[in-house]
Amino acid sequence: MKSILLSFLFLGVTTWSQNTNKELTYNEFLGYVKKYHPVVKSANLKLNQAQANLMMARGGFDPKMEVDFKQKKFKDNEYYSILNSSFKIPTWYGVEIKAGFDNTDGIYLNPENKLPNQGLTSLGISVPLGQGLSINQRMADLRKAKIQINLSKVERNLAAVSVLYDASLAYFNWKRNFNEVKLYQDYLANAEIRYRGVTRLIEQGDKPAIDSIEAGIIVRNRQWSLEESRLKLAKSQLELANFLWLENNVPLELQDDMIPEENLAATIKETLRTNDLMLENPTLENHPKILALTNKIEMLEVERKLKANMLLPKIDLGYSYISKPSYIDHYRFQDYKVGMNFYFPIFLRKERGSLQLAKYKLQETKFDLDLERVQLTNKIKAQQTEIASLEKQRQLIESLVNDYNAMLTSEERLFSFGESSVFLVNSRENNLVAAQLSKLQLENRFFESNAALFRIMVNTQED
């Protein structure tokens, strides 16, 4: 009877209950973060801002209508009435086409403003021969705005992946603490059953009273560990809730009956798509960080060309054919208006200094690009090595847990035959608990390592 009782107490306790908890899978969790997290939405706003800037830059090439009308009357006398109207069409290479109509009247009109009674129409062109012909501020703004669209898309991906990585760490921490609570709950239940069984044997005179103290110590240790793990679980749940949102920026609370994905180790690579990232030499040409620096270099190159163009003299030539509205169809070479504007600083110190600064910024960004390529390559290799090593370590720790479990089972059998002690059984169980905690820690490192590779490669393909 004694052997049967001890075997029941020490060969393990299995409890069966209906699982009514709801599983929040890792993939489902990331879906909420991608779709509703405020930082991800804010990153999308950056792209919208870039598109608005592009519209503003294109506005520099919009046709413009200008009307300037001035009139003065005093004591029934019209001193002057001056109307200047024009319609301008800017073109890409700094050339501007202009059509206009001018009309003047008045007894005190400046002689140079006197025009025929019908007024004068004009049609002309303005051409920059130095500054502004190959590139000007208007052209540079448009080119940079187009590049900024691509840069904003890349930066949106980088921001989104950074949020997904932080959210992943919170999920892994929640899963680890959840499993720790389950672990301590199971072993606390075993310790309590063992304590009650030892107490009965002491009452029957089959065990010394000191064994109850030994069994009671392990119960209180398990209670202490369980309470501490529950605290960590509560904190990790609150941390995880920071990443859960719904539409209209409504925060989502994590319900008490929600549990993490049980078999995450088998699905994490598929979820993060890190299987293909374990290749020996992954390409970096389309990596967002490389693309971001490449786009910045393109923008700085546009700026450098603009600064270099400022070294040229500013020469603007304008020609307009003028005629009365009644015979605008009959071109007369002798009816025209021409003008020239020339400007050139003697020393060009401001322009040369500005160009040097643009070159230095461009060279600095090129250095950053070369450094980023090397760093990314080394980070990827290091992360691939870590993942491969952790997979081997997981196999080893799994074997250790099985061995410790076998040792505990054997020790419990010996105790059931009176050939062991509560101290040795507790010692075997402590070793098993420590191994299982190490297994949880190693599993968590494996998850984090896959997420780190995901972040390094910025693997943001849409589903």
**177: confidence class by pLDDT, cuts 50, 70, 90:** very high
Judge whether 339 lies within some domain.
Answer: yes
Q: Tell me which of 328 and 177 has the higher pLDDT.
A: 177
On whether both 258 and 119 belong to a single domain, the answer is no
Average pLDDT on 152-176 reads: 91
Residue 242: pLDDT over 60: yes
The pLDDT of residue 408: 86
79: in domain: yes
Residue from 123, 129, 145 nearest 60 by CA: 145
In a domain, 308, yes or no: no
- Mean pLDDT of all residues in 206-219: 75
Judgement on whether residues 244 and 364 belong to the same structural domain of the protein: yes
Q: Are residues 121 and 153 in the same domain?
A: no
Average pLDDT of the chain is: 84
Residue 201 within a domain? yes
Residue-wise pLDDT tens digits, 60-86: 888 999 999 998 888 878 888 889 999
| 417 shares a domain with 271 | yes
Same domain, yes or no: 341 and 241: no
Residue 33 scores a pLDDT above 70: yes
425 lies in the same domain as 338: no
Same domain, 88 and 225: no
Q: Is residue 327 part of a domain?
A: yes
- When pLDDT is averaged across residues 112-121 and rounded to a whole number, the result is 83
The rounded percent of the chain whose pLDDT value lies above 90 is 30
Range of the domain at 298: 2-57+138-302+355-457
Report yes or no on 75 lying in a domain. yes
More confident residue, 77 or 21: 77
- pLDDT-derived band of residue 461, with 50, 70 and 90 as boundaries? very low
327 pLDDT above the threshold of 70: no
Q: Are residues 241 and 192 in the same domain?
A: yes
Q: 462 lies in a domain?
A: no
Q: Say if residue 463's pLDDT is above 60.
A: no
Same domain membership, residue 371 and residue 428: yes
The answer on 123 and 169 residing in a single domain is no
Please state the domain count of the chain.
Answer: 2
Split at pLDDT 50, 70, 90, the class of 11 is very low
pLDDT at position 280: 61
**CATH value at residue 174:** 1.20.1600.10
- Examine the domain organization and report whether 201 and 118 are in the same domain: no
Query: Is 309 domain-assigned?
Result: no
- CB-based contact 443:267 (threshold 8 Å): no
pLDDT tens-digit readout, 188-199: 888 887 778 777
User: Which pLDDT does position 328 carry in this prediction?
Assistant: 52
Residues 225, 79, single domain; the answer is no
- Read off the pTM: 0.79
Percentage of the residues of the chain whose pLDDT score is greater than 70: 89
In this prediction, residue 98 carries a pLDDT of 92
